[in-house]
């Protein structure tokens, strides 16, 4: 049962390995970013991602995980997470696509995600992406030793709530290390000063999943693809952090992909 899972604390050596895994993900997202444009098949993006991960002597964390068939989760428009690239799926102008990538290197996982605009998107969609990413940045600011997972969730929810966006509740961030999903669960809603307390030795992934409309979702028959019930678009961003005696460090980075798509990123 979840309530009895033990938090797995990491050593300095573990942190160094986690950083190397996260670097593989950063390089892979940047490589995939080079190919995101109208007309590109999702299966091709998955192939690009897997090749890049393996070229860096890592293993795709997602491929085969509980039966997941691909190396990347490619979630387009109203797909919140876990989109499986399928034959015939092609990007179109005005789409958004979240690319979630995991890499296993030397026994430790890297895992984070970025949502890209494909060509020209509607202004309301652009703002959804911008604000979801800002909610992640604000959550990182409170992800310090002594604070709680409730502080993180409250920060995300209170920020995006002012725009009447939906906050997906059935899915959350997580601890990460030798296992891709560890305790603590990092929800995107909550009350301040509640839940697991952040302490040195933790590695966590914070990942706001925010919708333009209702927060209600459903799973397709493939057992993976999660869509919004009202079919309005959803944004998903994720960063990977370590909590140390010296403070919190974001070990994931969007800066490599930012060089490709021409944006400026805080991390």
C-alpha distance from residue 138 to each of 116, 134, 152, 195, 266 (Å): 20, 6, 8, 18, 11
- What are 71-130's pLDDT values in tens digits? 999 999 999 999 999 999 999 999 999 999 999 999 999 999 999 999 999 999 999 999
Q: Determine contact, residues 36/116, Cβ cutoff 8 Å.
A: yes
Residues 251 and 240: their CA atoms lie apart, in Å, by 6
| CATH no., domain 9-261 | 3.90.230.10
Radius of gyration of the chain (CA): 17
Q: What is the DSSP string of 159-194?
A: HHHTTT-EE--S--EEE-SSSSSEEEEE-SS--TT-
Instruction: Give the list of residues 6+ apart from residue 93 with CB closer than 8 angstroms, or none.
Output: 38, 118, 119, 120
Per-residue pLDDT at 1: 32
- Is pTM beyond 0.85? Reply is yes
What single-letter DSSP state applies at residue 245?
T
- ∠ CA 181-69-215, nearest 5°, is 60
Cα 66 to the center of its chain, rounded Å: 18
The confidence score (pLDDT) of residue 178 equals 97
- pLDDT at position 207 is 98
Distances (CA, A) of 2 to 61, 160, 191: 22, 28, 20
Residue ranges of domains in the chain: 9-261
Give, in order, the Cα–Cα distances in Å from 85 to each of 35, 50, 59, 184, 255: 15, 13, 18, 29, 25
> What was the pLDDT predicted at 4?
53
Integer CA distances (angstroms), 240 to 10, 63, 155, 202, in order? 14, 20, 17, 11
pLDDT of residue 2: 41
Ranges of residues in the chain whose predicted pLDDT is under 50: 1-3
Q: What is the pLDDT of residues 52-71, one digit of tens each?
A: 999 999 999 999 999 999 99
């Amino acid at each position: 049962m979840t309530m009895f899972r033990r938090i797995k604390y990491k050593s300095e050596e573990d942190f160094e390995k986690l950083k190397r895994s996260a670097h593989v993900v950063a390089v892979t997202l940047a490589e995939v970013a080079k190919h995101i444009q109208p007309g590109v098949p999702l299966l091709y993006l998955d192939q690009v991602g897997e090749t890049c991960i393996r070229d860096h002597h890592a293993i795709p964390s997602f491929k085969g995980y509980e039966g997941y068939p691909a190396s990347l989760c490619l979630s387009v428009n109203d797909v919140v997470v876990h989109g499986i690239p399928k034959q015939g799926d092609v990007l179109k102008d005005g789409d958004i696509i979240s690319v979630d990538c995991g890499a296993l290197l030397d026994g430790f996982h890297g895992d984070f995600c970025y949502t890209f605009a494909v060509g020209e998107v509607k202004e309301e969609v652009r703002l959804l992406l911008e604000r979801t990413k800002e909610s992640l940045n604000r959550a990182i600011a409170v992800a310090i030793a002594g604070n709680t997972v409730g502080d993180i969730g409250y920060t995300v929810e209170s920020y995006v709530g002012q725009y009447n966006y939906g906050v997906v509740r059935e899915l959350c961030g997580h601890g990460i290390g030798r296992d891709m999903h560890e305790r603590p669960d990092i929800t995107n809603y909550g009350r301040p000063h509640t839940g697991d307390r952040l302490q040195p030795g933790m590695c966590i992934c914070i990942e706001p999943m925010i919708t333009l409309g209702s927060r209600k979702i459903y799973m397709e028959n493939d057992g993976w693809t999660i869509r919004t019930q009202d079919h309005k678009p959803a944004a998903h961003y994720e960063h990977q952090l370590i909590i140390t005696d010296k403070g919190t460090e974001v070990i994931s980075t969007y800066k490599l992909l930012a060089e490709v798509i021409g944006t400026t990123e805080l991390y």
